[in-house]
Amino acid sequence: MGVLARSLLIAALTFALCEAPPIGTSANGDITFADVTAHAGLQTHIVYGGTSGNTYILETTGTGVAFLDYDNDGWQDIFLVNGTTLDGFPRGQEPSNHLFRNKHDGTFEDVTVRAGLAQSGWGQGVAVADYDNDGFDDLFVTSWGQNRLYRNKGDGTFEDVTARAGLTSGRRWSTSAAFADYDNDGFVDLYVAEYIDFDPQTAPLPGAKVPGVNCSYRGFPVMCGPRGLKGERDHLYHNSGKGTFTDVTVQAGNLDKDSSRGLGVVWGDINNDGYPDLVVANDAQPNLLYVNQRNGTFRETGLEAGVAVDEDGRERAGMGIDFSDYDNDGWLDLAVANFYGEPHSLYSNQKNGSFLETTWASGIGRATMHHLGWGTRFVDYDNDGWKDLLLVNGHVYPEVDRHQLDETYAEPTVLLRNNGNGTFADVTALVGSSLAGPRAGRGMAAGDYDNDGDLDFLIATVNGPPCLLENRGGNASHWLTVRLIGRRSNRDGIGARVTTIADGVSRMEEVRSGGSYLSQSDLRAHLGLGAASSIAAVEIRWPSGQVDRLTGVPVDRIIVVREGEGSFTFAPGPGNGSRATERR
């Protein structure tokens, strides 16, 4: 063989190696995410704090988003939380939250005013659940200010029932909230993370020299905090089942007694005992893991369980958070988004109440060190049966763009594909340019808004438009989406566990309110099935303890399951048009 031929051969081999897909990538290489925000009619602007710099930390946290089906038509609608600025707006021109109704054709119509949801202020997060079990999903919206509980009246409108429900709080800085039925009495309860005891009249200004308070970043003055700023105590509210809530923060185990700076909340049954446990991501303070004692109280075990701090004992700046079973072993694992220069954290459930940090072993550490993370969600975007991880990023200091730093205010959103062997590969560059951005991202929700069998993403930005990303090609592999309707359990089946058995593999998803960051994802359980063309069984473990086992469930359908009936119906989606029909 001549030298030239040999060189060409080596070059060809080298090229082939460079072009090799990441481990595990097979038939799913054609998936892209298209930015359909404008086409969908989500032409609004999220206002939040300063654009070139921030005076207070209040201006940094941004807002959340939600997928919900408020009109029970089987299609995910969209709710966007809006904020404001320190200067405020003339009366009548304040930015408000938005509700967009899904028109079933890829577009949405703004029904905010008609729905009675035109609230303004320093909005933060949103959680969705049918708190009164009347069959219509309600909204809980947090803010720096008075949080609001909006009861869905079932006629396309909502009423503010905050006071009637006993949720009048005065001015607090509430961030993420999440519903779950912690005592399994059939009504969802509510956990609200509180961030900082913030008062602009006394808060230090950028660059201030206040002992113990961080007011500079890399040598230039920035808004002060979070380090050194006093946190605010989280709240757990018990749902009486009669339309009211009672603050049980102390009775339930003296929760958050140190008033830590909470930003992310997620419920999940970490020990498979049928009772939801809770993790709170705290900013520059240890994360908290509350293990449900099954008697109305919780025990905080974050440090012992290995999720409070990193392996070197350092508190990370926890923001977004999510539970899912990324290794398909039947136990919930945990992901937490952190600050720039810290890796986002991944914790593998050790099935004994503790977690093993797998941040670096999984490859997530290397992929996320240079991102400041918020929205966090396990999503099987390619329906291969392994939960991937979507991370929405964005810096807190707009000023970084003026100081020739290596970091920027707008950051890329990152999609990490689960290789199925405990590791993840960064596939952001492989799914089109729309997903990456960059953007000053904050809240994020996942949901199948077009009912085509793959998960789409909705992202909130700071001082920018929302971003709706349509998954194109994710439904090439098989899938199943399950909408639960509780009878003895809470109506949405929040906390229920849906397990599919297909091709001999069990895959599990838990229905969860909240999670990610300030946001609410599709309450339907979505499970990728990979190449499995049939499902041997679907098992639903309800919060009530009821276990329903379904057979004959086809793949690639959206089904509705009512607790205790042992049957299912089809919901709008592929193979079923836009109308629900009874299957059997």
Partner 1 sequence: MSGHLLLLCAALFAATRVPPEAPQTPTDHVRAGQQYQQQGRLQEAEEEYRKAVDLDPADADLASLYAHVLLGQLCSARGDYACAIPQLQRALRRDPTLAKAHYYLGITFTLDGQKDKAVPELAEAARLEPESAAFHYYLGLALLDVARDAEAADALQRAVTLDPTDVAARTNLAWALINIGRNREATSVLDSVLRLDPRDPSAWFLRGEARRRLGDTDAAIADFEKSVAIDDRAEDALFSLGTIYYLRQDFDRASDYFARLLTLDADHVGAHYGMAKILLKRGRAADAVTHLVTCVTKDPRNKGAHYQLAQAYRRLGEADKAEKELQVFRSLGGDVADVDAGAVERLRKRPGGGGATDR
> Does position 436 bind partner 1 by CB under 8 A?
no
Q: Smaller CB distance to partner 1: residue 316 or 439?
A: 316
> How far apart are alpha carbons 489 and 544 in whole angstroms?
5
Q: Smaller CB distance to partner 1: residue 68 or 317?
A: 317
> How far apart are alpha carbons 536 and 556 in whole angstroms?
14
> How far apart are alpha carbons 306 and 35 in whole angstroms?
38
Residue 274: CA atoms inside 13 Å, Cβ hemisphere, count? Answer: 14
- Minimal distance in Å, beta carbon 370 to partner 1? 6
Looking at residue 400, what DSSP letter applies?
G
> How far apart are alpha carbons 416 and 472 in whole angstroms?
17
> Does position 220 bind partner 1 by CB under 8 A?
yes
Considering only 319-327, 365-373, 440-448, 474-482, which stretch makes contact with partner 1 by CB under 8 A? Answer: 365-373
Q: Given its phi and psi angles, is residue 488 left (phi above 0), alpha (psi -120 to 50 degrees) or beta?
A: alpha
Site string for partner 1, 325-364 (x = CB under 8 A): --------------xxxx-----------------xx---
- Minimal distance in Å, beta carbon 559 to partner 1? 41
Binders of partner 1: how many residues, by CB under 8 A? Answer: 39
- Among 369, 485, 501, 537, contact with partner 1 (rule: CB under 8 A): 369
> Does position 438 bind partner 1 by CB under 8 A?
no
Q: Smaller CB distance to partner 1: residue 405 or 537?
A: 405
Q: Smaller CB distance to partner 1: residue 177 or 364?
A: 364
- Minimal distance in Å, beta carbon 25 to partner 1? 22
- The sign of the torsion formed by the CA atoms of 501, 514, 474, 361 equals negative
> Does position 19 bind partner 1 by CB under 8 A?
no
- Minimal distance in Å, beta carbon 193 to partner 1? 18
- Minimal distance in Å, beta carbon 215 to partner 1? 8
> Does position 231 bind partner 1 by CB under 8 A?
no
> How far apart are alpha carbons 52 and 45 in whole angstroms?
17
> How far apart are alpha carbons 40 and 106 in whole angstroms?
6
Q: Smaller CB distance to partner 1: residue 340 or 542?
A: 340
Considering only 97-105, 312-320, 326-334, 554-562, which stretch makes contact with partner 1 by CB under 8 A? Answer: 312-320
Binders of partner 1 in range 190-219 (CB under 8 A): 212-214, 216-219
> Does position 309 bind partner 1 by CB under 8 A?
yes
- Sequence-separated (6 or more) residues with CB below 8 Å from residue 327: 333, 348, 422
Q: Which pair of tokens denotes residue 462?
A: 């700071």
- Among 151, 238, 316, 491, contact with partner 1 (rule: CB under 8 A): 316
Binders of partner 1 in range 405-424 (CB under 8 A): 405-407
Q: Which pair of tokens denotes residue 572?
A: 């709008």
Instruction: Write out the DSSP string of 477-532.
Output: SEEEEEEEE-SSS-TT-TT-EEEEEETTEEEEEE--SB-BBT-B--SSEEEEEET-
> Does position 365 bind partner 1 by CB under 8 A?
yes
> Does position 501 bind partner 1 by CB under 8 A?
no
- Sequence-separated (6 or more) residues with CB below 8 Å from residue 477: 27, 28, 382, 383, 384, 385, 528, 529, 530, 531
- Sequence-separated (6 or more) residues with CB below 8 Å from residue 201: none
Whether 355 contacts 307, CB under 8 Å: yes
> Does position 487 bind partner 1 by CB under 8 A?
no
* Residues at the interface with partner 1 (CB under 8 A): 212-214, 216-220, 227-228, 284-285, 303-304, 306, 309, 311-317, 339-342, 360-361, 365-366, 369-370, 400, 403-407
